[in-house]
Structure 1
């Protein structure tokens, strides 16, 4: 099986190329990129624009990267000999704010940001296409993916604690679903090996266990050997500081605060049952420890 990874220059793409056999990375920048589809058996679409914490992107940037390019890739997939398109969406297409119960594929979608809405629009367009006989479309919704090379919110927490700065948000108690890059690649690998076990449609992928921000802080302290005290600042004060960060360039803003302190739980039951997965390669804590160690080594 020859696997094409579209948008392979990012964190996830590089890991897929390093982990899965017979993979080739493809960029959409060069003219004539679609010609590479002619020898593909499976296509993994990672192309898209993620959250813009610097606030320099406009709505049309998300529309182009997450919707229009998805349409182009799908059309080329239809014309190619490839039998399977794995489109990487996001749990943000379903929910971005908060969920105290495990999110399932059948839940009503509630995206609120340009990112989440564009991801959902791409899903809806794909699901509205008539898939030719002999071809399959799998849409995956991961929560936040982390691992060595990740530069997301975990990196921000690591920098805070490793510098001896007290964690100021311990008044919040939450649990969130994440997915380590090892488990992400494992899901992709199992789908490639067993496409006949799945039906076209949406599947959630996540670690088996949710994990709290307090647990993340404990792992960081363990790895850095920093016995930094936690600060339980009043929630109203923290939210006020975050609102200031919405206007001024600060490490904390309302969106980042929500990600760090709210509950967002994701069920991976559907895909595990379909593929016969009993246990993922890493527990949530093991994946987190691996990511934190990479920050330390890097």
Structure 2
């Protein structure tokens, strides 16, 4: 029997590329990488051009059994678009639905959508994590676009019978991570004193290895059909704990000043940086109980192992 063909979009990106490499390693599936630009996957598997906003650039999905859709217009800290929601919708809603319709018409059995925890909301009360079945409360254009895409996919599933699986990750980190996580590692490596030594929040993160493992599980698990899953490492950390454990992985000393949270928030407010303080001091926890019980799944990579892998690649 031929191995199932799996098309992965966003294959030149952080998540999509990791999914394809895992599929190649497992050798249980035949990955097809759909990439917008240059990719390290050339020569390792079939690579096809793909652009979410181009209706003429849809990949051939004949004989593809499953699509893992990781391509997206991602959340950015300093949005420059005049109408950000419209720009997010063009890619994350219209582009996703265009691809999904083509998938259904081509006989694709299952469509796995990498969404975002931002569909649930921006923060949680300490000790009261988001759950998969909570009422959605997206607060920014990116989160709204992901929620609208989820709803459109659910309706398409009802109309066509194609199974849809939705995965909502929080912050994803691992070897090759960029943005704020990379900045954090640079600060630690340079020994920059940080006023973050007394933060008692709790945040869920997900190592790229754990997110990819769940996506692979959802390819064929019968219980995954038409379900929404939250994912994390299964261990929530405070900002202070994350910095200390990342420093340990980098084999450097974390210079963390024990500034009380109230003082940190006040200083940030006076400097016009309230949003940054909210992210550093606020909690965002997810409950992966449904994911673990329904799929008989546990995160295979511990936080410390994932941080060590991240640090090794960063220092290489």
Q: TM-score, normalised by structure 1?
A: 0.88
Number of positions where the alignment pairs a residue of Structure 1 with one of Structure 2:
289
- In structure 2, what is the Cα distance between the partners aligned to 1:174 and 1:236? 13
The C-alpha deviation readout for 1:129-165, integer Å capped at 9, x for no partner, is: 3435653100111111111011032211111111111
Q: Pairwise mapping of residues 160-199 of structure 1 onto structure 2 (< 5 A)? A: 160-194=187-221, 196-199=222-225
Task: Please tell me whether residue 290 in structure 1 is matched to residue 316 in structure 2.
Answer: no
Q: 1:55 to 1:133 in 2, by over 3 A?
A: closer
**Cα RMSD, aligned residues only:** 2.2
- In structure 1, what is the Cα distance between the partners aligned to 2:278 and 2:211? 23
The C-alpha deviation readout for 1:110-141, integer Å capped at 9, x for no partner, is: 21111111111111222233435653100111
Contact 1:211 1:284 in 2 (8 A): no
Q: Pairwise mapping of residues 227-246 of structure 1 onto structure 2 (< 5 A)? A: 227-236=253-262, 238-239=264-265, 242-243=268-269
- In structure 2, what is the Cα distance between the partners aligned to 1:234 and 1:271? 36
Task: Please tell me whether residue 47 in structure 1 is matched to residue 71 in structure 2.
Answer: yes
Q: Secondary structure of 2:228's partner?
A: strand
Q: Pairwise mapping of residues 201-240 of structure 1 onto structure 2 (< 5 A)? A: 201-236=227-262, 238-239=264-265
Q: 1:242 to 1:38 in 2, by over 3 A?
A: farther
Aligned to 1:250: none
- In structure 1, what is the Cα distance between the partners aligned to 2:85 and 2:271? 21
Contact 1:3 1:40 in 2 (8 A): yes
Q: 1:284 to 1:228 in 2, by over 3 A?
A: closer
- In structure 2, what is the Cα distance between the partners aligned to 1:173 and 1:236? 12
Out of 12, 31, 45, which is 1:23 matched to? 31
The C-alpha deviation readout for 1:24-50, integer Å capped at 9, x for no partner, is: 111433774324212311001112122
Task: Please tell me whether residue 271 in structure 1 is matched to residue 274 in structure 2.
Answer: no
- In the alignment, structure 2 segments of 5+ residues that lack a partner are 25-29, 36-49
Q: TM-score, normalised by structure 2?
A: 0.83
Out of 147, 160, 173, which is 1:146 matched to? 173
Contact 2:195 2:259 in 1 (8 A): yes
Task: Please tell me whether residue 81 in structure 1 is matched to residue 107 in structure 2.
Answer: yes
